[in-house]
């Protein structure tokens, strides 16, 4: 049996820790990786809170999430963008401060790595920044512990022993419960876990990565590494910046105009995306719902991150919990957006 840092492959989505009936939706729960922590099959992303969604609407979205049993929220210390880094965590903190069990019912995940200022040691994963960043996030969110503390990016300049010592101290102090990664490669996950194993530390319990029908690179090595070490997988950008959310129809109706990289991707993949939207029409489901339902059907996925700007967008995402894609639909999606085999079979034999 694998050691503490090795763990076992997480149970797939078929394992349900419980269901919460509410307002037409039945929320499913699963364990986060190899832990005993139960999280909802959808994760509420908060990156829009502040820059694009005002505080009152953000509060309403979080309250509604709890009403339907969604207990897993994701944020980061750098979120806030033009209104100031840390602003999103502050909004979450003021929501927690209202009481009513809001904090107790929430599994809150946040991240560190990005620079929070211009002075040295205000970013990355040194022991000093781990300590300072955690304390600052705790203050902003008005809580005394973080359920899942995630490294937003690999730090190639800090030794893993130093990183893990910093995290171990936080866990001993009761400031964090679990540690996760984000945007790691399969090799990074292996490095992290083998170092943690040598220290008799639990190590990573989750990996947050970009994963959707258009971007499936993680299937080569990241997903196999996560499964081997018992990490839950939390996909971000499940709609690939809106390209899987009905962009062609919205463009035709004059409701959406893409620029930059998203426009370039649409130009390159227009035929596939048009065929995708036609398939969604045949299924009688919104493209965004189909994209989320596909992720929920993947055995490696714990909970896709949805990032609603409005309460209506949250309601739309919840419909993915009810949609079951049949074999024909799954096969057609594979034709339109081919995936990857595990390395080395993906590029060799």
Can you tell me the mean pLDDT for 109-119?
97
Residue 18 is predicted with a pLDDT of 52
How would you write the chain as a 3-class SS string? CCCCCCCCCCCCCCCCCEEEEECCEEEEEEECCCCCCEEECCEEECCCECCCECHHHHHHHHHHHHHCCCCEEECCCCCCHHHCCCHHHHHHHHHHCCCCCCCCCCEEEEEECCCCCCCCCCCCCCHHHHHHHHHHHHHHHCCCCEEEEEECCCCCCCCHHHHHHHHHHHHHCCCEEEEEEECCCHHHHHHHHHHHHHCCCCCEEEEEEECCCCCCHHHCCHHHHHHHHCCEEEEECCCCCCCCCCHHHHHHCCCCCCCHHHHHHHHHHHHHHHHHHHHHHHHCCCHHHHHHHHHHHCCCECCCEECCCCHHHHHHHHHHHCCCCCHHHHHHHHHHCCCCCCCCCCCCC
Catalytic status, residue 211: no
Which of 29, 79, 178, 276 is flagged as catalytic? 79
If you search the block for the tokens 């540690």, which residue do you land on?
179
The pLDDT score that the predictor gives to residue 263 is 86
Q: Are 85 and 116 in contact (CB under 8 A)?
A: yes
Query: Residue 63 has what pLDDT?
Result: 98
Give the CA angle between residues 40, 41, 44 to the nearest 5°.
70
Encode pLDDT of 13-56 as tens digits: 333 445 555 444 579 999 999 999 999 999 999 999 999 999 99
- Is a pLDDT exceeding 70 seen at residue 118? yes
Average pLDDT over residues 59-85: 97
State the pLDDT confidence band at 157, using cuts at 50, 70 and 90: very high
What does the pLDDT look like over 321-343, one tens digit per residue?
A: 999 999 999 999 999 999 999 99
CATH 3.20.20.100 given to domain 18-240+295-326: yes
Most confident listed range (18-22, 120-124, 248-252)? 120-124
Q: pTM for the whole thing? A: 0.93
> Is the pLDDT score of 177 beyond 70?
yes
Tell me: pLDDT of 348 over 50.
yes
Cα separation, 34 vs 269, in Å, equals: 37
Average pLDDT value over all residues in the chain: 93
Q: Are 316 and 288 in contact (CB under 8 A)?
A: yes
Strands 72-74 and 107-112: parallel
255-284 per-position pLDDT tens digit: 777 777 788 999 999 999 999 999 999 999
Question: How many Å is the Cα radius of gyration of the chain?
Answer: 20
Cα(209)–Cα(110) distance, integer angstroms: 14
The first and second tokens of residue 84, run together, are 């100031």
Read off the pLDDT of residues 189-222 as tens digits, 9 standing for 90 and up. 999 999 999 999 999 999 999 999 999 999 999 9
Closest CA to 148 of 232, 253, 81: 232
């Amino acid at each position: 049996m694998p050691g503490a840092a090795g763990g076992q492959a997480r149970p797939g989505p078929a394992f349900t820790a419980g269901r919460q009936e509410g307002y037409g939706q039945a929320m499913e729960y699963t364990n986060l990786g190899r832990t005993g922590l139960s999280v909802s099959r959808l994760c509420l992303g908060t990156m829009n809170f502040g820059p694009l969604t005002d505080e009152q609407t953000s509060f309403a979205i979080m309250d509604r999430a709890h009403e339907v049993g969604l207990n897993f929220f994701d944020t980061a210390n750098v979120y806030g963008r033009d209104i100031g880094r840390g602003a999103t965590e502050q909004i979450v903190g003021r929501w927690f401060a209202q009481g009513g069990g809001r904090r107790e019912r929430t599994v809150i995940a946040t991240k560190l790595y990005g620079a929070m200022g211009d002075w040295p040691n205000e970013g990355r994963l040194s022991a000093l920044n781990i300590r300072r960043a955690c304390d600052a996030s705790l203050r902003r969110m008005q809580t005394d512990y973080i359920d899942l503390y995630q490294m937003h990016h690999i730090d190639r300049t800090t030794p893993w022993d130093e990183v893990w010592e910093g995290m171990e101290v936080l866990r001993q102090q009761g400031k964090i419960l679990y540690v996760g990664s984000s945007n790691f490669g399969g090799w990074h996950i292996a490095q992290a876990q083998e170092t943690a194993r040598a220290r008799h530390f639990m190590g990573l319990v989750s990996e947050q990565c970009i994963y959707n029908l258009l971007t499936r690179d993680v299937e080569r090595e990241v997903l196999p590494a996560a499964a081997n070490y018992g990490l839950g997988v939390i996909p971000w950008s499940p709609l690939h910046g809106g390209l899987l959310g009905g962009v062609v129809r919205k463009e035709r109706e004059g409701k959406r105009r893409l620029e930059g990289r998203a426009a370039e991707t649409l130009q390159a993949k227009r035929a596939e995306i048009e065929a995708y939207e036609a398939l969604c029409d045949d299924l009688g489901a919104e493209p965004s719902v189909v994209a989320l339902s596909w992720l929920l059907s993947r055995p490696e996925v714990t909970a896709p991150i949805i990032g609603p700007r409005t309460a209506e967008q949250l309601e739309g995402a919840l419909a993915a919990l009810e949609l079951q894609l049949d074999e024909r639909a799954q096969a057609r999606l594979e034709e339109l957006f081919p995936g990857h085999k595990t390395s080395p079979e993906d590029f060799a034999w």
